[in-house]
Structure 1
């Protein structure tokens, strides 16, 4: 499902959201904000196991996932929301592989933001999240979709933001030299 927009707003009424956060308070906050923005379908998960089940059984077009999402009842340790996102993006058979994903985190240290970005998230937001910033990021994703890149260790939106006026900048990244493959998800 692609996001629909007109004027300066985005029509979220037909988008299925999944808010995956261990905090009941944050799940309720995001649910209320999304309903206020016009969303009609907002699913909630407190752990990775529940999030996976909902993504398998329900229409999920957009994921808001906490970086500290616990594993849940499916066993094992060490998994978190970032690993959930990485697993979705790297699984070529996953039906929601290209959905927009926002990762939220309480402490947005540079290394944590880098890990979230490298997992394939479209955006990383630091908690507490203001309603304006949250809505702006959803609109940004709808209005400025970035091409997806794929290699052996990464599948997701182009991690670089293109600034107007940067056309003459030297190409220093490996990706600029054709190492990565651009994937058309449109």
Structure 2
């Protein structure tokens, strides 16, 4: 469980096809004390990071829902079925501008720990991390 980014050395993987959004999230995470931040521009690139570059077990993945090549739902579903990450049950937070409750429910069904609606601010991000997201994989098992 991630209780407080300021009290824990945690690793976060940001997955978003928009460079500006990755920079915003990086700044927000730095602002709440997270120092180890990795980035990927889509789900496929994130899987490459997870499998090929030693970041096999991030403490948290923050992933956009709508991306080219591999969207957030497909990425989440793939991670949950991966032999490498399934036992770790890494929390995956899906970010979306879509407020449709069905989209949120389907995201959770494919293994998202939490779905948050954009725009997101530092307080929301810190609160999400402070409340802990270790309940994440009840759905994905």
Asked if TM exceeds 0.5, the reply is yes
Q: Is the 8 A contact 1:68 1:80 kept in 2?
A: yes
Q: Is the 8 A contact 2:22 2:39 kept in 1?
A: yes
Q: Secondary structure of the equivalent of 2:132?
A: helix
**Matches of 1:32 and 1:58, distance apart in 2:** 23
Match of 2:127 among 122, 125, 136: 136
Aligned to 1:36: 31
Aligned to 1:69: 67
Aligned to 2:110: 119
Q: Is the 8 A contact 2:11 2:37 kept in 1?
A: yes
Q: Which runs of 4+ in 1 moved over 4 A?
A: none
User: Which structure shows the higher helix fraction?
Assistant: 2
**Matches of 1:42 and 1:102, distance apart in 2:** 15
Structure 2: gaps of 5 or more residues: none
1:126 is displaced (CA, Å) by 0.6
Aligned to 2:18: 23
Paired residue total? 137
Deviation by residue 1:70-89 (Cα, 9 ceiling, x = unmatched): 21xxxxxxx41111101111
**Matches of 1:148 and 1:29, distance apart in 2:** 27
Deviation by residue 1:59-104 (Cα, 9 ceiling, x = unmatched): 3221000011221xxxxxxx4111110111123x123650111000
Aligned to 1:107: 98
Q: Is the 8 A contact 1:12 1:37 kept in 2?
A: no
**Matches of 1:132 and 1:147, distance apart in 2:** 20
Larger Rg computed on CA atoms = 1
Structure 1: gaps of 5 or more residues: 72-78, 157-186
Range that drifts further, 9-18 or 120-129: 9-18
| 1:1-186 aligned within 5 A | 3=2, 5=3, 9-11=4-6, 13-56=8-51, 57-59=53-55, 60-71=58-69, 79-91=70-82, 93-95=83-85, 97-141=88-132, 145-146=134-135, 148-149=137-138, 155-156=140-141
Are the structure 2 counterparts of residues 14 and 29 from structure 1 closer, same or farther at C-alpha, using a change threshold of 3 Å?
same
Q: TM-score, normalised by structure 2?
A: 0.85
